[in-house]
Homo-oligomer: A and B are copies of this chain.
Amino acid sequence: MSLLVTGTIGIDDVVTPTGHANQVLGGSCMYFSAAASFYSPVRIVAVVGDDFPQQFRDSFKQFPGVDLAGLETRKGGKTFRWGCKYHSNMNSRDTLFTELGVVGEAPAKVPPVFADSKYLFLANSPPAVQAGFLDQCPKRALTVADTMDLWINIAKDDLLGLLKRVDGLVLNYDEAELFTGKANTVTAGRHILDLGPRFVIIKKGEHGCILVHRDGICSLPAYPTERVIDPTGCGDTFAGGVMGFLASDKSAQHDPGSYASIRRALVHGTVVASYTIEAFSLDRLKEIKRADLDKRFEDYANMVRI
């Protein structure tokens, strides 16, 4: 089934306790689409400036499943730039700078050839911008949105409006508590279900994730690894693995948002994110193939087999 993602493509500066990467390819849409492309073709809708380096454009060729028909290059515009520094335990980070550039202007538009998209992932953006994409994809069968603390703090009404129109929400552990005021993750998840979605996926980084769905609750561990180089993009590639697998999963087509469908897809998201963290930017994802993901999927399945 056709999968479309909207979000940012940008240039990142990342500092971790073990190294740094300057001016590397990043952005939620980029990470998501690279990950999803292992499982399914994926259509991106995003905007960059005409300063976007050719070498980054060439990087897409490493992920041939990514359809660039919705990538707008805006004349005279500046590409989104973001810098961060991770704390010693890699579980938290400080944003060093954010230069919105074209991301602060009018959003990209869904091109007519993408208007029939069935699966829609709204990567982190202002909720009002995310909502604007819904009407551009009238045939959508499953819509999932990501969000972050910034929008919870400054655009909560927009976010509440969006939640009434999506099937699922993805957000971090601490953001679920910030949003709901509930310290218990399951309670926070249920609270969010009361606001509209059929399910919420709460990301806990190294501690895995919890799915709170109207039809069940599931907690899954992360893939345990010592090779932690750069957590940037892990959440987006996790979502990419989830949605990419869902889009490829024939058994889920009749009800892609069911508890069973989402639960199965979460493991694929977990596996692809476990590769993302092993290098800066998309470097590790560029090295691997679907067979590597399937091998680690088996390792993971054996780990939790009871």
Of A90, A222, A306, the most chain B CB neighbours within 10 A belong to: A306
**Cβ-neighbour of A186 out of B185, B218, B225, B303 (below 8 A):** B225
B90 touches A219 (CB 8 A): no
Closest to A204 in B: B207
Closest to A221 in B: B219
Interface status of A208 (Cβ within 8 A of chain B): yes
A264–B228 CA distance with the chains assembled, in angstroms: 27
Closest to A297 in B: B306
Interface status of A135 (Cβ within 8 A of chain B): no
A228–B188 CA distance with the chains assembled, in angstroms: 13
B267 touches A226 (CB 8 A): no
A219 touches B208 (CB 8 A): yes
Interface status of A300 (Cβ within 8 A of chain B): yes
How many residues does chain A have at the interface if contact means C-beta atoms less than 8 Å apart?
Answer: 34
Interface status of A184 (Cβ within 8 A of chain B): yes
Closest chain B CB from A303 CB (angstroms):
5
Residues in B with CB closer than 8 Å to A55 are: none
Residues in B with CB closer than 8 Å to A89 are: 183
Interface status of A160 (Cβ within 8 A of chain B): no
A225–B184 CA distance with the chains assembled, in angstroms: 8
A208-222 vs B: 1/0 string, CB under 8 Å? 101000000111111
Interface status of A304 (Cβ within 8 A of chain B): yes
> Given A301-B306, A305-B306, A306-B305 in contact, is the A221-B224 Cβ separation under 8 Å?
no
Within 8 A of B (CB), among A88-139: 88-90
Interface status of A180 (Cβ within 8 A of chain B): no
A221–B183 CA distance with the chains assembled, in angstroms: 18
Interface status of A73 (Cβ within 8 A of chain B): no
Q: A208-B208, A208-B219, A210-B224 are in contact. List 12 more A-B contacts (CB 8 A).
A: A186-B224, A186-B226, A190-B226, A207-B208, A217-B224, A217-B303, A218-B304, A219-B224, A219-B303, A267-B306, A304-B304, A305-B305
- For the complex of A and B, the 7 pairs showing the least CB-CB separation, nearest first, are A219-B221, A207-B207, A301-B306, A304-B304, A89-B183, A219-B224, A186-B226
